[in-house]
Structure 1
Amino acid sequence: MNKYLLPILLLIGMQSAFAQQSQISGTVTKTNGNPIEFVNVALKEKNTGAVTNQNGQYIISDITPGRYTLVCSFVGYQSAERKIQIKEDENLNINFTLKDDALQLDEITVNYTQKNKFHRDSSFIVSKIPLKDIENPQVYNSIPKTILKEQVVTNMNDALKNATGVTRLWESTGRGGDGAEFYSMRGFSVQPTLVNGMPAINNAGLDPANVESIDIIKGPSGTLFGSPVISYGGMINITTKQPYESFGGSINYITGSNGLNRFAADVNSKITDQSFARVNMAYNKQNSFQDAGFSESLFIAPSFKFKPSDKLTFLVNTAFSIFRKR
C-alpha cells in the first residue's frame, strides 16, 4: 500500500499545479492602430508583469486565480488600468489602446539686450576670401582693437597674450636688421614681420596705438602671404588703422604702477573729396621695480588715402618711433 502512496500524491500535486496555470495576453497599440514596443503591463497586486515585443504583444503566465488590477504604462502615453478576475486554467485576452500624453507647456520667449562687442564671425584678412570662422580650416587667432582698448594694452607683448600658444622669447634689440620682438609659436621663433599683409621689418618694438587688428596664423597656412616672411610655426600680421572719410579723433591718457604715463592721440581729417589723412601717435614712459628697466618711447604713424574712383584706392602708411631704455 505504501509503495502506491507516493506516486498518487505526486500525481495529485501535478494536476493541482497544472490547474492553476492561468495567463493573460493581449496587444498594446496606439490610437492609430500601430503597436507599441517595450510597454510595461503588470498586475498591481502581485508586482509581476511583462513587456510588449515589437508587435505590441505581451503574455503574463502562471497567475493564481483571483481579482487583480492590470496596469499598462509607457513614457509619453497615458497609463491605462483594467479590473479583472481570472479563474483556474483560464486564458484572458485583454488589449490596450494608449493615448499620447502631450504636456502643454507655456510659451517661453528669450530676449537679449546686450551683444558681445568682441565677437567677429569671420576674418577676411586671414583667408583672403570671405569665409566664416566655422568654415575656415585654418588655425588662427584674431585680436581686434576693441579688445586692446578694453584691456588698456600699452605694448605688443600684452596684446599677443590674447592668442593661445604664443609667448615672447625676447624683446627688440633696436639694432638694424634685427627686426621687432621674437615670439615662440609651435616651438619655432617668429616675428611680426607682416604689416597689412606686406613684408615690413621694424627695428623697434611695435606700438599698439596704430593697430586695427592682429592676426596670428599658425602652421603652414601662413604661406598664403609668402613663404619667405613666415616661420615654420606660423606668422603674425599687423593691420594698421586706415583713414576714413570724415573728421574724427580721440585722445586718451593712461597712468599706472611703476610710474607709467602714456598719452595717445588719433586724428583723422578729410582733405578733399578724394583724399584723407590720419595720424596716430603715442608717448609712453615707465619705470621698473628693478634697478634697470626704465623705458621711454615716442611713436608717430601718419597715413594717407587717395581714392580716385570707387574701384581704385591708394594707401600710404608710415611709422616712426624713438625708443630709449636703460
Structure 2
Amino acid sequence: MKKVLFAFVLLVNFSSLAQLGSISGLITTELNEPLPGASITLAGTVRGVQTNAKGTYILKGLKPGQYTIQVSFVGYRTSKREVNIKEGKQQEVNFTLSDVTELQGVSVTAQSGVKGNSFLPQVNEYTITAGKKNEVILLDNLQANLAMNNSRQIFSRTPGISVWESDGSGIQLGVASRGLSPNRSWEFNVRMDGYDITPDPMGYPEAYYTPPMEVVDRIEIIRGASSLQYGPQFGGLMNFVLRKPDLSTKLVVESQNTTGNNGLFSSFNYVGGTAGRLSYTTYYQKRLGNGWRQNSYFNTDHSHGEVSYALSNKLKVGAQLTYMYTQSQQAGGLTDTEFAQNAQQSKRARNWFSNPWFIYALTADYVISADSKLSLKYFGTTAERNSIGFTKAITEVDPMGNRQVDRDFYQTNGLELRYLVDYKLGSWKNTVASGLRYFSGEIKRKQLGVGSNGNGMDFDIQGLYTRDLIFHNTNYAAFAETILRPSERLLMTIGARLEQIETHMMGQSGLSSSGTPLAATPSTRERSFVLLGAGAEYQVSSGTKLYTNIAQAYRPVLASDLLPPATTDVIDPNLSDAKGFNFDLGYRGELGNYLTFDVDYFHLDYDNRVGTISRTNSDGKIYQFRTNLGHSVSKGAEAYIEFSPTTAWLKASKMGNISVFASIAAIQAHYLDFKTTSVVSGKIVESNLAGKSVENAPEKINRYGITYSKKGLSLSWQISDIGQAFADASNTMAANAAATTGLIPAYQVQDVSGSYKFKKYATLKFGVNNLGDSRYFTRRSGGYPGPGILPADGRTWYVGLNVKFVN
C-alpha cells in the first residue's frame, strides 16, 4: 500500500511539473550587443534571474497565467512587457534596452565614468530611505585592500567617517561619524543583511564581528534618521549586504589568494549559483599574519552558507549560517616617548584576544500583490569575547606572573516582521513601511580571573572569577513610516517608533578577602518611549534632489553602566537612556555618469550622556556616583563629489577613463554641559566641560583620490588628511605618563592600489598602504588592548590573484 501511495505522489508531482511553463530570451543594447548581468523580475512575485555572459536568461517552473516581465540594468531604461504563460510551453521574450543618458551626443553607459559611492532608492526593499542622508559603498567599484578590511580605503568616499586604525589585522571595525566615538563602531546600529550581528544592541553594541569585505557586495549607511525603523544608535544604520547567489548561472567558483609583508596570507574561496527555484552561496576565508608591530599575530577563519528557495511565485524562504574564529596577539600600548623612538616596538608579549562568533538567520519573503509584501526574519547569535594578558599601565613592566582573564558569553535571539504597501490617497501615490520587533539578549560576564603565567592563548583560570554577572535585555518595538507624494517632484515622510526595553542585572560583584563570592545588588529597569521623525525630498532636476529630515534618537543604558567598578560606588537608580535628535539638510544627485555629489549640513543633539562624579555620603566618605551628566552637540558640513572628466568631455577616449573624488567633512563637536568632579586634598571640587571638544572627534576628515582605468587595468591613489583630536573630554594637551590622555595629532596618509584583468577569469590585485610610511596613531586606549598609544600600521604591501570560473 505504501509503495502504491508513493508512486501516486510521484505521479501527481510529475504531472504538476509538466503543466508548468517557462520564459527565456535575449537582452541586448541598441547596438545589438548582449547585456550580461541585467535583472529580470516578474512583477508581484519573488521570482527573478539575471542574464548570463551571453545576455540570455531563462525562468522555469511558472504556473500558467498572465505575467508582467520587468528588465532593468544600471544606465538603461527599465522595460516592461506582458506575457501569457501556457501549460508546458516555453515563451521567448527578447528585450532591447535603450541608454538613459544622452548628453550632447555623448553616449554614457555604466561601463565608464564615476564608479564610486551611490545612493539608496526612496524605498530600499522594506525600508523607507526617502529624505534621509544615505550612502551605498559598492565594494566591487573600489580599488582597496579588501583582504585586510582596510577601513581607510573602504570608507574613503563616505564623508565624515572617522576610523580607528588600531587593529591592523582587520578583524574588528572601528568607525563612527559626526563626532561620535569609533569604539568598535558602537554608535552605529550594525547589521548584516538586515539583522543584528552585535553582542546586544540594547546593552553592549560593540561590533566584534566584521564580515570579510571580499564577500560584501555593498555597505548601506543611513545616518541618524534611521532610528525610526531600526532603533538605536545615534550614528544610524550600517548594514553589510553580502554577495547574493548569482542568478544567471548554476555554478560560480571563485578563489582569491593574497600575500604581503609581515607574513600576510589570505585565501578567500566562494561557490554559488542558482538552479531553478534554488539559490545558494558558501564561502571560506583563512587569513593570518604577524602584524606590523612586534608581538602581533592574527589567525582567523570565516565561513558562511546561504540558501534560498522559491516555494511558489509568491513565497521565498531562506537560511544563513555564519561562523568566525579568531586568534589575535595584542601588542599593547606605548608611551609618547616610546612611540617617537620606535612605533613598531611592543612591551606586551603575552596579551591575547579571541572572539568566536556564530550567527544564524531564517528568512521568509511573501509578495501579497504588486503593491504589498511581507518580510519575516528570525536571527540569533552565539558568541564569546575572551582576553588574557597583563593590562596595567604601560609604565609598569610585566612581571611575567599570572595574567588577567576576562570572558563574555553572548546569546541573542530576535524576530522582525516588516510590511511594505503602496496605496493611494486621492491622487497621491504613497508608501507605508511598518513592522514589529522582538529581541532578547543575554550577556554572561566573567572578569578578573587569575590566568596562567605562560605566553600563549590560554583562558583557563585558577579559582573563581572576581566578577560573575548576568545581564539580560528584552526589547519590543513597533514602527511605521510613510511617504506622502503630493506631486511628482515633492514627497514628505512622517514616522514613529514605540520602544519598550527591560534590563536585568544579577550575579556576583566581587570576592571577599577570604575568597567568598559577594552577591551584586540585582537591578531591574523598565522603560517605554516613542521616537518621532519627519522629512521631505524635492526633485530639483531629473538627477538631483534636495532632502531634509529630523528624527529623535536614543542610546540605551549599557551593561557596563549598571556595573559599579568598586563595591563603594553607586549607580543612580534613575539612570536613563541617552536621548536626542538628528537633523539633516542636503542636496545630492547624479549628472549622467560623469558626476556624483552630496552636500549636506547636519546637527546631532546628544543629551543625557552617562558619566561618573564624586559625592560624599552621610559618614563624610567620598564615593563615585554614575548618573546622566552631559549634553553635547555635533554640527557641521559634509561633502562628497566624484567627477569623470573623460566621460564628460570625451566621446571615446583612447586614453581610458579618469575619475577624481573629494570627501570632505568639517565637524564641531562640543559639550554644552557636562558636570565633573575631582578630589583635591580630600575635598570634592566641581567643574564643567561646557565648551570643551568631544573626545575622539577630529574637526576635519578629508580624503581625496583619483582612479585611472583602461580595459583590464585600474589604478587608484588616495590621501587621507585628518585633523587633531583629544583623547579625553577634559581636552588634555600634554600626555600623562601612561599615555591614556593627551592630544591625538593630525596626520596624512596615502594609499595606492590597482588591479589588472588579464584573462576572462583572472584578475591580479595589488597595492601599497601608507605609501609614505607615516608614523601616526588614532587612539589612546584606557584599557585593553592598551593601555597607551596604539600605533597605526606603517607601510605595508599586498598582491593577490583572483580566479573566477562560471558554468
TM-score by length of 2: 0.13
Give the structure, 1 or 2, with the largest relative contact order (CA under 8 Å, sep 6 or more).
2
The structure with the largest alpha-carbon Rg is 1
Structure richer in helix, relative to its length: 1
**What TM-score, normalized to structure 1?**
0.30
Structure with a larger share of its residues in strand: 2
